[in-house]
Amino acid sequence: MSQTKSTAPAFATKSSTKRPSKSLWQRIKDTADPDRALMGVTSACIEAVGVKRALDYDQERWSPGKPLKLLYAGYVGTRNTGADVRVEEMIRQVRHVIGDEHLEQTIMTVDPKLSAGYFRTVHQIRSPAVFPRFLAEECPKRHGVIACEGSMFKSKFASALTTFMAGALGFANAEDKLSVGYGAEAGSMTPPLQDFVRKHCAKSLVLCRNRPSRGVLGDLGVRTTFGTDTAWTFEPAPAERGRQLLLDAGWDGKAPILALCPINPFWWPVKPDLAKLAALKLGGEYKLEHYKSFYFHANSEKIDKKLDTYIQAFADATNAFMEEANIFPILVGMEQLDRRSCELLQPRLDFKAPLFISDEHNMYDMVSVLRNCSMMVSSRFHAIVTAMPGLVASGGVTMDERIRNLMNDRGHQDLFLEVDEADLGEKMLTMFRRLLRDREQIAADIGRMIPNQLALMGQMGIDFMDEVCRVYPEFPRRELPRTWEAHLPPLPPALHKLMEQYG
């Protein structure tokens, strides 16, 4: 039986409107812009797949009796704890609402060695740095694509990352297949990236984790609904595991633990640069800012100065706070890239705080350590999110809208700072004092928020299943009550206790 076509509206077109041809200079500029060139190649590949779909050529189609083949496109395999945790829970929820007997799942990973042991029941395939051809080959082999990364639609980190995920969704749309962005955030995008998303994601459904993201995507004509992050339901290693790691690192078992999660907020976005790649290969230049393949972080004396000021603010605030309170600070790198920032901060502290970096600890141990803490100040969004079910009193020093949106949702508008604001160290010290003084009240505020996030996540399961059945009306829907509780994956005991107390 042939696949039922999507009923989502086609792209709006006006035959009387013709885009003016580009000037020669603009075409030269486009060619010299690697991000724009990557979008152009990806767009051409999507259009080629669409032509094959129109010609009914060699397409994998779902029909009753077949498992639903899903492809997850995200940022796993880099030892980014937050990315791995949210995808782990996303997969658990999809397995729950659809059922393993009806699923065949594949996930793209940057490095299978770094994601080994994660994502049970899901086949892992390596995604290359240059991805248009890879997506053109892999997406048509499946019946749907789920884009996974939280920072799904923004240029802050890398336009190439959004091109990758929006492109994967676009390949699914070109074949009228399932195309879903799961727990996404949208922010500022370059005009070419906006055009790319507008063109290729209009038929996708994006489950957004806040209202501002819905506004950004709505302006681009993308279908959205409310959602949340999926990390809330994650079950880490037992609390005793994290406690033992902390004891081994010098904790006395009594002092309140302050987790500090610094990053380098100033060397983004990552951009492709063939000239720097040549200089790296031939002369060993640009080693520090080299990300991978031909992608490089931004780097300059100005960026170095900003980073030094930011790191020193962490150090000054922590040293002053340690003179006032008996606390045990630890330095946490939620992604292996954060090791350098932690190692820059460590020697500036009066007390040699131990390092907990994701290149040495898996996601289960990392989150167990975080939930043993009493307080946290983080520039990593998922350090805060994964610690919240442990009722860790937390504040943020943010480089973009994610932590800002989270703190506003919590009602803690005084618990976030900007990475480059004046007198950052003094303001961080004030935040430390508030976290210590009011940690029980802050913990209670967090506890009251979590049931709402679980309700949103359960609704995401309903909305996702509705979308599956919209695209594939004959798909066998699992008999679950149409309630958010029934569409959550099995919850760990700690969350059950929170629900009993605050739900």
Domain residue ranges in the chain: 24-233, 239-437
What is the predicted pLDDT for the residue at 267?
A: 84
Average pLDDT over residues 38-63: 89
Least confident of 5-14, 122-131, 159-168, 311-320: 5-14
Looking at the domain that runs over 239-437, which CATH code has it been given? 3.40.50.2000
What is the predicted pLDDT for the residue at 297?
A: 82
Rg (CA), the chain: 23
What is the predicted pLDDT for the residue at 32?
A: 60
pLDDT at 16 over 50: no
- The H-or-E segment that residue 298 falls in is none
CATH 3.90.120 assigned to 24-233: no
For residues 337 and 343, give the distance between their C-alpha atoms in angstroms, rounded to a whole number: 11
**Domain pair 24-233 / 239-437, same fold:** yes
Q: Report the mean per-residue pLDDT for the chain.
A: 90
What is the predicted pLDDT for the residue at 139?
A: 96
CA 424 to each of CA 118, 249, 333, 421, 460: distance values in angstroms, whole numbers, following the listed order: 38, 28, 20, 6, 38
What is the predicted pLDDT for the residue at 236?
A: 97
pLDDT at 9 over 50: no
5's CB contacts (< 8 A; 6+ apart) are 176
pLDDT at 339 over 80: yes
For 371-421, the pLDDT digits (tens) are: 999 999 999 999 999 999 999 999 999 998 889 989 999 999 999 999 999
Share of the chain above pLDDT 90, in %: 78
**Residue 398, phi then psi, degrees to nearest 5:** -105, 145
- The H-or-E segment that residue 313 falls in is helix 301-324
**Does residue 1 or residue 426 have the better pLDDT?**
426
- The burial class, CB within 10 Å (0-12 / 13-18 / 19+), for 206 is buried
With cut-offs at 50, 70 and 90, classify the pLDDT of residue 5: very low
Quick one: tokens of 389? 């079910």
**Residue 169, phi then psi, degrees to nearest 5:** -60, -40
